[in-house]
Amino acid sequence: MNWNKSENKALLRALLSLKNADEAGRFLRDLLTKAEIAEFAKRFRAAEMLAKKEPYSAIERETGLSSTTVARVSKWLKGKEGGYRRVIGRLHHHSSPIARGG
Within 10 angstroms of residue 63's Cβ, the number of other Cβ atoms is: 19
Q: Model-level pTM?
A: 0.83
Q: What is the mean pLDDT of the chain?
A: 91
pLDDT at 95 over 70: no
* pLDDT the model gives residue 1: 82
pLDDT at 18 over 70: yes
Q: What angle do CA 47, 102, 95 make, to 5 degrees?
A: 50
Confidence of residue 101 (pLDDT cuts 50, 70, 90): very low
- The 10s digit of each residue's pLDDT in 80-92 is 889 999 999 999 8
**Residue range 35-56: mean pLDDT, rounded:** 97
pLDDT at 97 over 80: no
Give dist(CA 29, CA 16) in Å, integer: 16
